[in-house]
Amino acid sequence: MHSTTSTHDSHAEVHPLVGHLVPVSTLLLTGGALVVLTVLTVAIHYVDLGEANIYIALVIASIKAALVGAFFMHLRWDRPFNLLVLVAAIAFVVLMMAFSMIDVDANSFAFDQGNPKTVQNYLDQNAKFAPITAK
Amino acid sequence: MWLFLATEVLFFGGLFVAYAVLRMLHPEVFAYASHYLDTILGGINTLVLIASSFTMAMAVRFAQTNKRIPLIICLLLTLAGAMGFMVIKYFEYTHKIHENLIMGPGFYRPVDAQEATIAMTDPGEPAPVLKLDSSLGAPAVTPAAASQNIIGIPLPAMDRTAVVSPLAGPSGVVDLAGTPPAERSQYAEEALREVPTADTPHLLDPKLPVNTHQFFAIYYCMTGLHGIHVIVGIGVISWLVWGAFKGRYNSNYYTPVDLVGLYWHVVDLVWIFLFPLFYLIH
């Protein structure tokens, strides 16, 4: 992709007031790549690779996200500060996710104790056989 | 605008964290319940959103280059993509609601009996639950047994027969009282044989993991919040179409088109992650 996108669009010089004009070819290639990756990820889903499946799917999703961000959202040509804002937000989500998972993993015995009494009473009345209470 | 997008990422981020924690606690629930989602419909929706993201990026370009008619066409195509996404989502939701694949305790009520129960009881009263007839040799339901995969079907008060089924295992009971006798065993056998799909009644599935309702809770929360964003997107893109008709946007003033475009791409980005996390797991 990089060889096609680094060529500057000639219109950018004609309209100095506008921001970066993303070339049509770049947009088409990005859209095409997104479609191909979507078909690919669905196809791989039908092959059972065990644990690896979800990681492959997430890697493909990340590539698609990077393509959308770089070209559709023209981050590639923006000031780096915009990218910093987005990456920082994602990084904090990942940080929160990591700490939540570490915490829950260490204390998960405390999460499977069943429902509080009021909740269980409600379930007993309204969804008698709901197997919600653990153990 | 980018700070707003950052808050959007954090907004969805909380739900992604909830997803990760729930999935870590109950991996078998996610692997099982994902079969109830239609991968093809989800994939089509992904392509629809990608196409609308593409037309939105083209719209920004046409605004920058003073091309009014192509701008209007691209915005209308984006709008069509957004509406198409919601239409497909509507069919997915209604199908699941019809199959009782919903969030909350209603997940554990059978589809047909639920309507009958609602029709025949006062709203204040708890739903009448079928009492098992001990003369049929069915074991009484104990709390211990209830925690296993038992199917209890609340029925209208006049219908009080139960059958013991091979579906339910040694301690469980399956009530198929609503089914005519000739069809009962066939129904049960079919339910046993089938891999869960969107058409299998989940309560009849002996492999239904405990706490499967959690998958649908997080599914409706995340796709629902995303759907609300798509509806907001429909609103702001319509506003852009109106502005484009009036000829407001040109190479000196295209910021609204650009910023709505950024918002729309973030909506696309969220779906790019939601799709594999819900539809593409085993």
Alpha carbon distance B42, B89 (integer Å): 9
Residue among B267, B218, B160, B244 nearest B24 (CA): B218
So what's the pLDDT on residue A129? 59
How buried is residue B157: exposed, middle or buried, by Cβ count under 10 Å (0-12/13-18/19+)? Answer: exposed
- pLDDT tens-digit series, residues B234-279: 999 999 999 999 999 999 999 999 999 999 999 999 999 999 999 9
Task: Determine phi and psi for A128, rounding to 5 degrees.
Answer: -50, -40
- pLDDT of B214 strictly over 90: no
Residue among B223, B282, B200, B225 nearest B93 (CA): B223
In the structure, what pLDDT confidence band is assigned to residue B209 with cuts at 50, 70 and 90?
confident
Residue entry with tokens 């070819």: A25
Chain A / chain B CB contacts < 8 angstroms: 182
In the structure, what pLDDT confidence band is assigned to residue A27 with cuts at 50, 70 and 90?
very high
In the structure, what pLDDT confidence band is assigned to residue B210 with cuts at 50, 70 and 90?
confident
Cβ within 8 Å, pair B151-A129: yes
Q: Which residues of chain B have a CB within 8 Å of the CB of A30?
A: 54, 57
So what's the pLDDT on residue A116? 72
Residue entry with tokens 């429902």: A115
So what's the pLDDT on residue B204? 65
Alpha carbon distance B280, B282 (integer Å): 7
Cβ within 8 Å, pair B50-A89: no
Q: What tokens does B110 get?
A: 């059978």
Give the nearest chain A residue to B46 (CA atoms). Answer: A38
- Contact criterion met (CB below 8 Å) for B180 and B163: no
So what's the pLDDT on residue B118? 46
- pLDDT tens-digit series, residues B127-140: 444 444 334 433 33
- pLDDT tens-digit series, residues B154-180: 433 333 333 333 344 333 344 444 444
Give the nearest chain B residue to A40 (CA atoms). Answer: B43
Q: Which residues pair with B250 in a beta bridge?
A: B253
Residue among A37, A56, A61 nearest B275 (CA): A61
Least confident of A17-31, B127-141, B184-198, B218-232: B127-141
Residue entry with tokens 């029709």: B119
Q: Which residues of chain B have a CB within 8 Å of the CB of A61?
A: 272-273, 275-276
- pLDDT tens-digit series, residues B39-68: 999 999 999 999 999 999 999 999 999 999
- pLDDT of B25 strictly over 70: yes
Q: Does residue B118 sit at the A interface (CB-CB below 8 Å)? A: no
Cβ within 8 Å, pair A42-B152: no
| Amino acid identity at A69 | G
In the structure, what pLDDT confidence band is assigned to residue B121 with cuts at 50, 70 and 90?
very low
In the structure, what pLDDT confidence band is assigned to residue A60 with cuts at 50, 70 and 90?
very high
Alpha carbon distance B282, B271 (integer Å): 19
So what's the pLDDT on residue B177? 46
In the structure, what pLDDT confidence band is assigned to residue A25 with cuts at 50, 70 and 90?
very high
| Amino acid identity at A43 | A
Measured between CB atoms, which of A60, A68, A90 is closest to B9? A90
- The average confidence (pLDDT) of chain B is 76
Cβ within 8 Å, pair A89-B269: no
- Contact criterion met (CB below 8 Å) for B236 and B1: no
Q: Which residues pair with B253 in a beta bridge?
A: B250
C-alpha distances (whole Å) from B147 to each of B32, B143, B171, B208, B262 are 18, 6, 11, 12, 48
So what's the pLDDT on residue B111? 55
What percent of chain B is modeled with pLDDT above 90? 50
Cβ within 8 Å, pair A85-B2: yes
Q: What tokens does A132 get?
A: 């919600």
**Which of B9-13's residues contact partners 24+ apart within 8 Å by CB, and which partners?**
B9/A86, B9/A89, B9/A90, B9/A93, B9/B266, B10/A89, B10/A92, B10/A93, B11/B225, B12/B222, B12/B225, B12/B226, B12/B270, B13/A89, B13/A90, B13/A92, B13/A93, B13/A96, B13/A97
So what's the pLDDT on residue B206? 66
So what's the pLDDT on residue A128? 60
C-alpha distances (whole Å) from B45 to each of B82, B231, B261 are 10, 15, 19
Give the nearest chain B residue to A131 (CA atoms). Answer: B147
- pLDDT tens-digit series, residues A63-111: 999 999 999 999 999 889 999 999 999 999 999 999 999 988 888 776 6
Hey, of A18, A25, A101, which one would you mutate to test binding to chain B, going by the most B CBs within 10 A of its CB?
A: A18
C-alpha distances (whole Å) from A94 to each of A10, A37, A65, B20, B278 are 40, 23, 15, 10, 18
Hey, of B147, B215, B222, which one would you mutate to test binding to chain A, going by the most A CBs within 10 A of its CB?
A: B147
- pLDDT of A118 strictly over 50: yes
Residue entry with tokens 């891999």: B195
